[in-house]
Amino acid sequence: MPDGMIPNVLSIAGVDPSGGAGLLADLKTFSALRAYGTGVVAALTAQNTRVVTGVQPVPVAFIAQQLDTLFADVRIDAVKLGMLGDAEVVATVAAALRRHGVRRLVVDPVMISKSGHPLLSPDAVAALRREILPLAEIITPNLPEAEVLLGCAPIRTLADMRVAARSLLQLGPRIVLLKGGHLEGAESTDVIDDGARQIELPAARIVTKNTHGTGCTLSAAIAALLPQHADPIDAIRAAKAYLTAAIAASGELTVGSGHGPVHHFHNFWPPARS
C-alpha cells in the first residue's frame, strides 16, 4: 500500500447491539484510527453491558458469500477476526482467508464474554488452533484463552506470561500479544513475542467498570494501524496507547449499568461538561 493511503480494514466478528464490543466497536475503532472500516457478520448476539441473553449463528454459506462479494470488489489491507462461534464458521472463514490470500491477519481468539457467556464451542477451539492461528500475523489472547489454547496450568505471573507467549508462537502466528488484563495488580501489562524478542507493554491499571470490549478494541486498533506502520511492533504499541486512553476516557459515556464501553472517539469529542 503506498505511503499515506487510507487502508481498508475488515472485521469478521459478532454483533453486540450495545456497541461496546464486536463488529460495531471494531468499526468505531477503525474510524478513530484513520482506517476505512468494512465488516462481515459471523454471529448475532443479544446482549447489553450486563449480560448475553442469546447467540444466533449466521448460515456459513452466507458468511462465505459476504466475504467473497466483498473481496471481489474491495482491496482489503488488513483483517481482524473476532467472535466466530462454532467450528463450522471457523472452517468457513479459514477457507475464505486462504482463498483470498489474506496476509495481514489479527486474530482475537474470543472464547468467553466479559459477562461470562461462552462464545466459542469446544470443538471450535481445535479448529481455530489448527486452521486459523497458522494464518495469523498477530494473535491477541487473554490469559484464560491462552490457557485453553495451550492446555496449560493457570498463568499467574509475568514470568508465566513470558513462557506462555513463547509457547503460543509454536501454534503458528508470527507475533503473539498476550494480554494481562486478567492478572491482579496495579499494572495491566501485556507481553509481545515475535520469536526474536519479548517486549513488555506496561500500563497502569485504570480503576473502572468500563472494560466491555477492551479486547475487541485493541485487536481492531492493531488491524487499523498495521498497514500504517512499517514495523508491526510500533502498530501494537500505538494500538495499546489508543486503548488505554479510550479506557481512561470511558467515564464520559453513560451506557448501561454493567461493564460499560470504552470511549472510542476520545481524541475527537470535547469532554462532557459536568
Ligand X SMILES: Nc1ncnc2c1ncn2[C@@H]1O[C@H](COP(=O)(O)OP(=O)(O)OP(=O)(O)O)[C@@H](O)[C@H]1O
Q: State the catalytic residues.
A: 179, 211, 213-216
Collapsing DSSP to helix, strand or coil, 61 comes out as helix
Rounded-to-integer distance, Cα 271 and Cα 120, Å:
37
Question: What is the distance, to the nearest Å, from the Cα of residue 53 to the centroid of all Cα atoms in its chain?
Answer: 22
Contact with ligand X (CB under 6 A): which of 205, 245, 252, 255? Answer: 205
Collapsing DSSP to helix, strand or coil, 31 comes out as helix
- For the window 48-87, what string marks contact with ligand X as x by the rule CB under 6 A? ----------------------------------------
**180 makes contact with ligand X (CB under 6 A):** yes
Nearer to Mg ion, 14 or 232 (CB): 14
Nearer to ligand X, 203 or 238 (CB): 203
Stretch that binds ligand X, among 93-101, 119-127, 173-181, 222-230 (CB under 6 A): 173-181
Residues binding Mg ion (CB under 5 A): 215
**190 makes contact with ligand X (CB under 6 A):** yes
C-alpha Rg value of the chain to the nearest Å: 17
Rounded-to-integer distance, Cα 262 and Cα 216, Å:
11
Q: Write out the DSSP string of 51-97.
A: -EEEEEEPPHHHHHHHHHHHHTT----EEEE---BSHHHHHHHHHHH
> Rounded to 5 degrees, what angle do the CA atoms 21, 24, 28 make?
100
Nearer to ligand X, 78 or 120 (CB): 120
Collapsing DSSP to helix, strand or coil, 1 comes out as coil
**16 makes contact with ligand X (CB under 6 A):** no
Rounded-to-integer distance, Cα 147 and Cα 153, Å:
7
Nearer to ligand X, 96 or 201 (CB): 201
Q: How many CB atoms lie within 10 A of CB 189?
A: 18
Q: List the interface residues with ligand X, window 83-142 (CB under 6 A).
A: 114, 142
Shortest distance, position 181 Cβ to ligand X, whole Å: 2
Shortest distance, position 111 Cβ to Mg ion, whole Å: 8
**179 makes contact with ligand X (CB under 6 A):** yes
Task: Please state whether beta strands 105-107 and 78-81 pair in parallel, antiparallel, or not at all (unpaired).
Answer: parallel
Residues that bind ligand X (CB under 6 A): 21, 114, 142, 179-182, 188, 190, 203, 205-206, 208, 211, 213-216, 218, 240, 243-244, 247
